[in-house]
Chains A and B, each alone.
Chain A
Amino acid sequence: MSNPSNLKYTASHEWVKSEADGTISIGITQHAQELLGDMVFVETPAVGRKLKAKEEVAVVESVKAAADVYAPVSGEVTAVNSELDSAPEAINADPYAAWMFRMKPDNAADVATLMDAAAYQAVVENEAH
């Protein structure tokens, strides 16, 4: 599965999708879910929580590890995907559809500074070496 070109990415393996209403959706990448393995639990943040860029915001737990998910930019949590409560495996099935939370960025321009698919692919390949 290749990384969709309409998304932005972080070095900590989150993907970021700009929604029509000005919010952004955040999930973890194909590469991240592959490393973690079968997901068993997702701990999502409280709606309304104010976040700074790179702050720990959620936890994904697989059968073999638990990993933090970081805020890609500063902003406020506006929604969480409660469907993942009962079906965390959706992250394994289609990581780019399984968003975890949405946030309203403090500065919309911050999102544009994140990596594009090609830059993220280089990060992943570099990590493999």
Chain B
Amino acid sequence: MPFIPHTEQDIQSMLASIGAKNIDALFDEIPAALRSGKLAAIGDGLNEMQVTRLMRERAAQDAQPLNFVGAGAYEHHIPAAVWEIATRGEFYTAYTPYQAEASQGTLQVLYEYQTMIASLTGMDASNASLYDGASGLAEAILMAVRAHKTSRRVLLPATVSPLYRSVAHSIVKLQNIELVDIPFDIATGTTDINALQQHAGSDIAALVIPQPNFFGALEDVDTLTAWAHAQKALAIALVNPLSLALLKAPGNWGVPHPNPLVEQLAIRLGRQTTATKSLVIPQAGEGANESLRESKISGADIAVGDGQPLGAPLSSGGPYFGFMCCKQALVRQMPGRIIGRTVDLDGKPGFTLTLQAREQHIRRAKATSNICSNQGLMVTAATIHMALLGIDGLRRAAAASHTNTQALTVQASGLHGVKRLFSAPHFHEVVLHLPESSAKVLNSMAGQGVSGGFDLRPHYPQLGNAILVCATETKTGEDLQRYVAALRHVLQS
């Protein structure tokens, strides 16, 4: 696309023709209080050399601590090849590929991404991504309400990330949708089934099921999914994509396997998606139809989450990307774009944007969602990341993260007054209870070069001095010892 500059004369003539005084006047409808002012910590009129120097000095202030914070953004090893390939010129301009004839490479990457994510989640269809996990959850709630048609109530467990809940509230609060908190069991750290049961029989559009939940704990997803379906509500799975290399795919939730041993084997072999599905064999006789019907209605209806663990660096909070998958029957309610595989007039295979007639650029105010964009570049990196690691590499990264967190929990719990909260099995995060102020402890650990965890106190005051700790596959045995030493030092001083 050529660069077409405007001369001062062009600008004046355009302003004159629409009757605006100057360019700033075009933004008059934005209240002054909402406009960003100057950057307080950066002086005026710095030249390139001065800015470069300032940035270097500021970068050096980042002590690059040993990181044990997760809480939604996870430090994982990203093979150097991932961003080397993703930043090639062919991919780096990830602008929406409206012109299929000029964008086959980009479209194919997005298509492969959709296939990978749909396989990982065990769902029928995936879109080409959303902005992030939190807005993805909000979109899933809106989608569930659209699909359900009669109810505008969605049950949102307190074990969902408080940040995600806050975003979901912001996005849906003016759309006459009610989000109902479901408390958690203080012993297990998972959704309280009895509290949930109090909503049985009421008109509910959907139940959000986090796996693992914000505490890193594993929810009883089969029971929760079956419960939602018994209420004629949709089950929205909110999942960490890396965990799915080990855990049951959302597409299979709600069907406890008749033979637990077979299921365990399938999970260990990483074939839970195909294995569990093909092994659900209806019994002969009267139960057969019932069983078939059961298997059709089982599984989460929508699966969303943040794709950051798949190749996106932490980078101070973004950009990340959200993924969203659903059952075939719901595909026209899914926001965002989908890439389809088709054939051209000569019968040759090709890729193109599909189902876009309901997007904002065509349907305006009646679009399925006000989100009609995606995170093309992050998704490109995620696709390359998944392709390089393969299911085996993903499984090893997930297993090592689980093992490291387990080891760290055992070592830290050996310190006087430190204990693990919650008895439910965990993925790669745990909640530790400290004998002193969590904020003070984390601050002191930071002084020793260790980011010791996420302070839960502001979000869950009922848990007291609790922190959320994560040790991914990037941590060595020595790193774990450094953590424990830093914590011991704080507690003894």
Binding site for B on A (CB under 8 A): 40-41, 43, 61-66, 68
Asked whether, in the complex, the Cβ of B362 is within 8 Å of the Cβ of A65, the reply is: yes
Q: Besides A61-B358, A65-B363, A66-B357, 13 other CB < 8 A contacts? A: A40-B357, A41-B332, A43-B332, A61-B332, A61-B357, A62-B357, A63-B357, A64-B357, A64-B362, A65-B357, A65-B362, A66-B366, A68-B366
Interchain nearest-CB distance for B434 vs A (Å): 55
Chain B neighbourhood of A40, CB < 8 A: 357
CB closest chain-B residue, reference A36 = B357
Chain B neighbourhood of A66, CB < 8 A: 357-358, 362-363, 366
Interchain nearest-CB distance for B368 vs A (Å): 9
The answer for the CA separation of A61 and B362 in the assembled complex, in Å, is 11
Chain A neighbourhood of B362, CB < 8 A: 64-66
CB closest chain-B residue, reference A41 = B332
How many pairs of residues, A versus B, come closer than 8 Å at their CB atoms?
A: 19
Q: Per-residue 0/1 for B358-371: is the Cβ within 8 Å of any A Cβ (1 yes, 0 no)? A: 10001100100000
Chain B neighbourhood of A64, CB < 8 A: 357, 362
Binding site for A on B (CB under 8 A): 332, 357-358, 362-363, 366
The answer for the CA separation of A17 and B455 in the assembled complex, in Å, is 67
Say what secondary structure dominates the interface of chain B. Answer: helix
Chain B neighbourhood of A68, CB < 8 A: 366
Interchain nearest-CB distance for A109 vs B (Å): 32
The answer for the CA separation of A68 and B362 in the assembled complex, in Å, is 13
Chain A neighbourhood of B366, CB < 8 A: 66, 68
The answer for the CA separation of A61 and B366 in the assembled complex, in Å, is 13
Chain A neighbourhood of B357, CB < 8 A: 40, 61-66
Interchain nearest-CB distance for B336 vs A (Å): 15
The CB with the most chain A CB atoms within 10 A, among B357, B358, B362, B366, is that of B357
The answer for the CA separation of A121 and B489 in the assembled complex, in Å, is 87
Interchain nearest-CB distance for A101 vs B (Å): 16
Interchain nearest-CB distance for B269 vs A (Å): 37
Interchain nearest-CB distance for A47 vs B (Å): 14
The answer for the CA separation of A92 and B358 in the assembled complex, in Å, is 20
Chain B neighbourhood of A65, CB < 8 A: 357, 362-363
CB closest chain-B residue, reference A37 = B357
The CB with the most chain B CB atoms within 10 A, among A40, A62, A66, is that of A66
Chain B neighbourhood of A61, CB < 8 A: 332, 357-358
The answer for the CA separation of A75 and B133 in the assembled complex, in Å, is 43
The answer for the CA separation of A72 and B358 in the assembled complex, in Å, is 24
Chain A neighbourhood of B363, CB < 8 A: 65-66
Interchain nearest-CB distance for A45 vs B (Å): 11
CB closest chain-A residue, reference B332 = A41
The answer for the CA separation of A62 and B363 in the assembled complex, in Å, is 12
CB closest chain-A residue, reference B358 = A66
CB closest chain-A residue, reference B367 = A66
**18 sampled A-B residue pairs with Cβ under 8 A:** A40-B357, A41-B332, A43-B332, A61-B332, A61-B357, A61-B358, A62-B357, A63-B357, A64-B357, A64-B362, A65-B357, A65-B362, A65-B363, A66-B357, A66-B358, A66-B362, A66-B366, A68-B366
